């Protein structure tokens, strides 16, 4: 039994259709969800896609974090550990809503960056079976506020608790300040907590080699597998 994945559209989302398409390429049953949705019982997992929800007014993700679907999402995470994946703006929304630790700040160089980077898996996760520690993935970024931040006193706990998930690395898989495109603390490109995970790069834009990489297929495929396994157990 495959999972049914919901992809939420907020006013200003621009990667929702891309994400639906990418999941459908993996054979997943998908459903488009509007930001006013309050019932999540019909889905096994939810993706908050990239884009510029509410035009990124105030702070990126700040207004979307107050949407009705986030209230439902928080309840579903707490009561049934609903798997959630945030991509770029989705990452920002999840931190604003308090479902993930930290915050996404403006890039240190003050520029919008749209290019390719390598990320490395730091911590294995039951939600991403098959993505072993050390696995390198080539994925594109496209953001102006992607500099992940937690206070120094919380950074160690992030790693100790297995919540630090992805790091930007160079082409040889090594940590380097030069490989950090936005000034993220500890080169962090993605974090996870419980059933919620997020990353700044866009796996839905890396589904075919001719696009520059098909590593997004590996990442999304692993998440879909994890969601499907949990759905089977739950049913």
Residues tagged active-site: 88, 202, 204
The CA distance from 81 to 150, in Å, is 24
Residues in the chain: 235
Token look-up 């994400």 returns 19
CA gap 129, 107 in Å, rounded? 31
Question: 3-class SS at 72?
Answer: helix
User: Could you give the CA distance from residue 42 to residue 89 in angstroms, rounded to a whole number?
Assistant: 24
Report how far apart, in Å, the C-alpha atoms of 182 and of each of 7, 55, 200 are.
27, 20, 10
Cβ atoms of residues 108 and 143 within 8 Å: no
Give the whole-angstrom CA distance, residue 193 versus residue 109: 29
Cα dihedral sign for 170, 95, 82, 201?
negative
């Amino acid at each position: 039994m495959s999972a049914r994945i919901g992809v939420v559209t907020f006013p200003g989302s621009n990667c929702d259709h891309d994400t639906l398409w990418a999941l459908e390429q993996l054979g997943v049953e998908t459903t488009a969800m509007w930001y006013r949705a309050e019932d999540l019982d019909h889905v096994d997992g939810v993706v908050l896609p990239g884009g510029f929800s509410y035009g990124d007014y105030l702070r990126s993700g700040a207004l979307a974090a107050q949407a009705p679907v986030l209230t439902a999402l928080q309840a579903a995470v707490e009561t049934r550990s609903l798997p959630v994946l945030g991509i770029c703006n989705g990452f920002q929304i999840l931190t604003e809503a308090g479902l993930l630790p930290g915050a996404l700040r403006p890039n240190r160089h003050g520029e919008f960056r749209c290019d390719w980077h390598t990320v490395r898996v730091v911590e294995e996760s039951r939600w991403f079976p098959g993505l072993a520690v050390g696995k390198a993935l080539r994925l594109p970024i496209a953001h102006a506020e992607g500099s992940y931040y937690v206070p120094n006193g919380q950074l160690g706990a992030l790693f100790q608790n297995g919540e630090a998930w992805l790091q930007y690395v160079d082409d040889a898989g090594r940590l380097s300040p030069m490989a950090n495109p936005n000034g993220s603390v500890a080169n962090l490109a993605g974090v996870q907590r419980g059933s919620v995970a997020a990353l700044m790069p866009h796996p839905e834009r890396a589904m075919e080699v001719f696009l520059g990489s098909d590593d997004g297929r590996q990442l999304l495929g692993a998440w879909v597998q994890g969601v499907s396994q949990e759905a089977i157990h739950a049913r």
